[in-house]
């Protein structure tokens, strides 16, 4: 997700632009039926998105998530989905991540993130602040792409609900196995979320 105010180059940025986007409500609350499933844009403001905005704003969460993303290749959106499912008492499993989401991440989100990072390092730093406005527009677009990705994960969640009374630790352990990340690497996140 987009870079933060504290100088990190990745992750969801909780600044005024994301706070405004997180505070924006869709015109109607999400309906959980097949007709709405076809209209992903109507599901952008959903309980998973709202949870992601709330949890990301907690002290220490952004840093822990960015460390997992940058050091271990973790997908922050999928981690947020796993945390949200645990908060609802549901188990996370690999079937909660659709092929559509995986393609969206690789073809849309990751290229935007790479572009934003390169702009910061290769254009703004080397050629001046006049490129910062454009970089901010890319960052906003990246955040919107992340929101679409979370909407895809939200839709999949309702198709694949598993288990009840599941803890954050249990879901992150399952997620770590799927992402080939050792459980110890999730400890910082667990400490700030629980």
Regarding pTM above 0.85, the answer is no
Q: Considering only CA atoms, which of 149, 187, 154 is closest in space to residue 169?
A: 187
Is residue 68 a contact partner of residue 143, using CB atoms and an 8 Å limit? no
| Ranges of each domain in the chain | 16-193
pLDDT digits (tens, 9 = 90+) for 64-95: 999 999 999 999 999 999 999 999 989 999 99
So what's the pLDDT on residue 22? 66
So what's the pLDDT on residue 163? 60
Out of 7-16, 75-84, 123-132, 144-153, pick the least confident: 7-16
Q: What is the DSSP track for 35-85?
A: HHHT-GGGGSS-HHHHHHHHHHTSTTHHHHHHHHHHHH---HHHHHHHHHH
Handedness of CA 148, 155, 61, 181 (dihedral sign): negative
For the residues 85-113, what does the mean pLDDT come to? 94
Mean pLDDT of the chain: 82
Tell which wins on pLDDT, 56 or 18.
56
Q: CA-based angle 80:16:47, to the nearest 5?
A: 35
So what's the pLDDT on residue 18? 53
């Amino acid at each position: 997700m987009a870079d933060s105010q504290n100088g990190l180059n990745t992750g969801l940025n909780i600044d005024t632009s994301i706070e405004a986007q997180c505070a924006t409500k869709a015109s109607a609350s999400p309906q959980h039926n097949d007709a709405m499933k076809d209209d992903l844009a109507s599901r952008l403001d959903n309980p998973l998105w709202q949870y992601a905005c709330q949890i990301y704003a907690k002290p220490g969460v952004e840093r822990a998530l960015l460390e997992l993303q940058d050091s271990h290749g973790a997908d922050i959106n999928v981690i947020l989905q796993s945390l949200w499912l645990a908060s609802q008492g549901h188990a996370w499993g690999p079937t909660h991540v659709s092929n559509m989401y995986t393609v969206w991440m690789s073809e849309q989100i990751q290229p935007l993130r790479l572009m934003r990072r390169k702009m910061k390092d290769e254009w703004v730093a080397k050629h001046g602040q006049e490129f910062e406005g454009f970089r901010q527009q890319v960052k906003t677009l990246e955040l919107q792409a992340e929101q679409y990705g979370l909407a895809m994960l939200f839709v999949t969640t309702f198709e694949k609900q598993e288990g009840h009374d599941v803890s954050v630790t249990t879901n992150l352990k399952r997620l770590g196995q799927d992402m080939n990340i050792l459980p110890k690497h999730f400890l910082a996140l667990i400490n700030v979320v629980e």
